[in-house]
Amino acid sequence: MFPPLPNPSTTDTAPRFSEKDLIRRSASTVPAPKQQLTEVAKLIDVSKCIGCKACQTACIEWNDTHPEVGVFDGVFENPPDLTPDMFTLMRFSEWENPETDNLEWLIRKDGCMHCADPGCLKACPAPGAIVQYSNGIVDFVHENCIGCGYCIKGCPFNIPRISKVDHTAYKCTLCSDRVAVGQGPACAKACPTQAIVFGTKEEMKQHAEGRITDLKARGYANAGLYDPPGVGGTHVMYVLHHADQPELYSGLPKEPKISPLVEAWKGITKYAGLTVLGVAAGVGLLHHLVMGPNRVSDTDEENAERLVRSDRHDSA
Amino acid sequence: MTAHDVEPGKVHPGKPVTVDRYTVGARINHWITAASLIVLALSGLALFHPSLFFLSGLFGGGQFTRLIHPWIGVVLFFSFFGLFIRFWKANLWKREDGTWLARIRDVLANHEENVPEVGKYNAGQKFVFWAMSVLIVILISSGLVIWDQYFSAYTTVGQQRVALLIHAIAAVAIIGVWIIHAYSALWVRGTIPAMVRGSVTGGWAWRHHRKWLRELVTKPGGRSGSKPAE
C-alpha cells in the first residue's frame, strides 16, 4: 500500500508553486525558473479500479462544477463523455481475452494526462491561457482563454472541452490548487481502493514497478506502465494489465504524440506565412521605389479623345 | 446588376474622356467585401501568430476576436458572391491573356506598349479574381469546420486539424493576393477612382484596357447622348 497523503493542517500554508515556476506559457515566453520543482504524478492502476466513480464525484465536488443531470442510455459511462463540467470520466469496456476466453471488464479513468510536451499549449493562440509548471502540471488560466478550441485540436488525448456558458476551455487541473498546499488531487483522496495514488513522479514509477511485478506474477505477462514517450512522458500514468494494447482501454492511444498537422501549423506555416507576406509587401515597396508609378500620359488622353471623336465621325 | 458591371458602360466625350467602369452597386459591394477582408485578416492574424495577438485589441480582446471572425467570414462570403456574379464573365480567360502574362516583365517595367491590348481585365486582374474566388471557397469551408462554437460536433478532431492547416495556408495566400491587388491599384495611377467614383479617364482606359475602350466606343449606344455633345 502506498502511504496516503496526510490531511491538511489547520494553519495557513504558503503555496508551494506559483507563476515563478512556469516553464511554458502559451503564445508567449517565460524566463527560466530559478528552481526546478520535483515532478509530481498521478498513478492510475486500472487493475485496482472497481468503477465506483467516487473519483468523478470528488472531482465535481472539489471543482464545484454542476454537470447536468443526464439520462440513462444503456452504458456505464455517466455522463457519456467528458464535458466542461466533468473533468474526469470512468470509461468502461468489455473485452473477451482470446487467450483465456475470459470476459475482462477494463475500466479507465479518463482525463488530462498532463503531458510533458502538451499539444494543447502548443496550439493555443492566447498568451498565458495555458501554462505548465516545472512540477509537470498543465493548467488552463480562464481569464486569458478566448474559447477558440485550438487546444482540442492540439490534444492527442481529446480532453479539453469548451464551455457554452463562459466560452472558455476546461479540463482536469491535477488539482493544482490542492497540490500547491501539499495535498493530492481530490480523485486520489476519494479513491477507496488506491487505484489512484499521487506523489512525485519517481515515487509513482517505483510504486508502479511493484504493481506490475504483482500483475505479472498473476498471469498478466504484458502488464506495464503507460507513460508515453511520444509526448515526453505524462504526469498522469496508468498501470495497465495489457500495456501492449492500450487501445483496449476505451481507445487509449498506443503511441500518442502531437499531430504532425498541428506541428506543421504551429511550426513552419506560422513562420513561413509571415515571411511570405513580409516579402510580398517588401517586393511591392521595392518595385515602386525602382520603377515608380504607372501614370497615364497626356498622349494616352489625346489618343482616347481621338478614338472617341473618330468613331463619332465614322458612325455619323 | 443589369448595368455595366456585366453589360458595357458608357463613354463620355470631353476633356478628358471619362469611361464608366463600376456601378454604384458594384462599388458598395466591393467596399463591403474589402472591409470584411481587412477585418478578417487583422483578426485572423491575431490568432495566427503570437507576435500579432495584440491585434485582438482592435476588436475588444481575444474573446471578441474569436467571436466576430467567423461571422465576418460569412459576410465576406456572401458579399464576394455578389462580386462574383457581377464580374465572372469579364474574367474568363482570353487568348491575349497568355501573351500578356508571357510579357509580364514589360508590364512590371511600365512598358505596356509591348503587351497586347486587353479587355476590361488583364491577366493579372483575372488571376486576382479567380485566386480570390477559389481561396474564399476554401476559407469558408475550412472555416466552418473549425468554427468550434456551432460546428465542432459535426466533424472529428482529425478533420478539424486538417481544416486548421488548410485555413492557415489559404489565409496567408489570400492576404498575399490582397497585397498584389492593393499594390497594383496604387501603382497603376488612376485606378482607384474606378472603385471610388465609378469612372476612369479615357487615357487610363486607352493605356491599360484599350480593347475594352474600343469595344465601348464602337458599341451602339456606348457613348453618352445620341448626338455629339459639342
pLDDT in tens, B111-157: 988 899 999 999 999 999 999 999 999 999 999 999 999 999 999 99
From A221, A237, A258, give the residue that closes a domain: A258
Strand residues in chain A grouped as ranges (E): 22-25, 40-45, 89-97, 102-110, 130-133, 138-140, 161-162, 169-170, 196-200, 224-226, 236-240
The domain spanning residue A66 has which CATH number? 3.30.70.20
Q: Which residues in chain A are closer than 8 Å to B110, comparing Cβ atoms?
A: 291-292, 294
Q: Which residues in chain A are closer than 8 Å to B168, comparing Cβ atoms?
A: 265, 269-270, 273
* Within a domain: A12: no
> Based on the domain organization, do A275 and A175 belong to the same domain?
no
Identity of the residue numbered B115? V
Position A5 scores a pLDDT of 79
> Based on the domain organization, do A180 and A300 belong to the same domain?
no
Radius of gyration of chain B (CA): 20
Residues A26 and A131: beta-carbon distance below 8 Å = yes
* pLDDT tens digits, one per residue of B30-88: 999 999 999 999 999 999 999 999 999 999 999 999 999 999 999 999 999 999 999 99
> Based on the domain organization, do A196 and A58 belong to the same domain?
yes
A236-240, strands of its sheet edge to edge: A196-200, A40-45, A236-240, A224-226
Cβ distance A273 to B172 less than 8 Å, yes or no, reads yes
Give the other-Cβ count within 10 Å of A105's Cβ. 13
Position A314 scores a pLDDT of 55
The domain in which residue A271 lies consists of: 265-315
Cis ω on the peptide bond leading into residue B16 (within 30° of 0)? Answer: yes
For residue A296, give the nearest of B62, B172, B203 by CB distance. B203
* Within a domain: A9: no
Sorted by sequence, the CB contacts under 8 Å of residue B119 that are 6+ apart come out as B90, B94, B96, B209, B211, B212, B215
Copy the grid coordinates of residue B25: 452597386
* pLDDT tens digits, one per residue of A263-281: 999 999 999 999 999 999 9
Position A310 scores a pLDDT of 81
Residues B43 and B69: beta-carbon distance below 8 Å = yes
Cβ distance A294 to B110 less than 8 Å, yes or no, reads yes
Query: In chain A, which residue's Cα lies nearest the Cα of B188?
Result: A294
Active site residues of B: 181
From A224, A241, A258, give the residue that closes a domain: A258
Cβ distance A147 to B148 less than 8 Å, yes or no, reads yes
Secondary structure class of A241 (helix, strand, coil)? coil
Sorted by sequence, the CB contacts under 8 Å of residue B66 that are 6+ apart come out as A146, A147, A148, A167, B47
Cβ distance A269 to B66 less than 8 Å, yes or no, reads no
Position B6 scores a pLDDT of 63
Residues B193 and B199: beta-carbon distance below 8 Å = yes
* Within a domain: A208: yes
Cβ distance B206 to A148 less than 8 Å, yes or no, reads no
Q: Are strands A169-170 and A22-25 parallel, antiparallel or unpaired?
A: unpaired
Give the integer Cα–Cα distance in Å for A60 and A121: 24
Q: What domains, with CATH codes, occur in chain B?
A: 11-218 (1.20.950.20)
> Based on the domain organization, do A144 and A270 belong to the same domain?
no
**For residue B226, pLDDT beyond 50:** no
Give the integer Cα–Cα distance in Å for A152 and A157: 9
* Within a domain: A14: no
> Based on the domain organization, do A251 and A292 belong to the same domain?
no
* Within a domain: A4: no
Identity of the residue numbered A17? F
> Based on the domain organization, do A270 and A252 belong to the same domain?
no
- Does residue A141 sit at the B interface (CB-CB below 8 Å)? no
Among A101, A97, A73, A87, smallest CA distance to A42 is for A87
Sign of the Cα torsion A29, A35, A39, A40 reads negative
Give the integer Cα–Cα distance in Å for A57 and A114: 21
> Based on the domain organization, do A155 and A303 belong to the same domain?
no
Q: Which residues in chain A are closer than 8 Å to B47, comparing Cβ atoms?
A: 125, 146, 148, 150
Instruction: Phi first, then psi: give them for residue A94, nearest 5 degrees.
Output: -105, 125
CA distance B4 to chain A (A): 18
Position A12 scores a pLDDT of 85
For residue B179, give the nearest of A150, A167, A281 by CB distance. A281
Instruction: Phi first, then psi: give them for residue A169, nearest 5 degrees.
Output: -90, 145
Cis ω on the peptide bond leading into residue A79 (within 30° of 0)? Answer: yes
Position A8 scores a pLDDT of 79
From A258, A282, A297, give the residue that closes a domain: A258
Give the integer Cα–Cα distance in Å for A281 and A260: 30
Position A127 scores a pLDDT of 97
Cα B146–Cα B149–Cα B154 angle in degrees, nearest 5: 60
Confidence of residue B227 (pLDDT cuts 50, 70, 90): very low
> Based on the domain organization, do A51 and A170 belong to the same domain?
yes
> Based on the domain organization, do A96 and A210 belong to the same domain?
yes
Position B150 scores a pLDDT of 96
Copy the grid coordinates of residue A165: 456558458
Mutating which of B157, B175, B177 best tests the A interface, going by the most A Cβ atoms within 10 A? B157
* Within a domain: A13: no
Sorted by sequence, the CB contacts under 8 Å of residue B193 that are 6+ apart come out as B199, B200
Q: How far is CA B26 from the centre of its chain?
A: 11
> Based on the domain organization, do A198 and A226 belong to the same domain?
yes
What domain count does chain A have? 2
> Based on the domain organization, do A90 and A227 belong to the same domain?
yes
Q: Which burial class, exposed, middle or buried, applies to B184 when counting CB atoms under 10 A from its CB (0-12, 13-18, 19+)? A: middle
Cβ distance A153 to B169 less than 8 Å, yes or no, reads no
* Within a domain: A215: yes
Copy the grid coordinates of residue A221: 505477462
Low-confidence ranges of chain A (pLDDT < 50): 315-316
- Does residue A153 sit at the B interface (CB-CB below 8 Å)? yes
> Based on the domain organization, do A107 and A193 belong to the same domain?
yes
* Within a domain: A11: no
Copy the grid coordinates of residue B202: 479615357
Q: Which residues in chain A are closer than 8 Å to B157, comparing Cβ atoms?
A: 152-153, 155, 158
Confidence of residue B229 (pLDDT cuts 50, 70, 90): very low
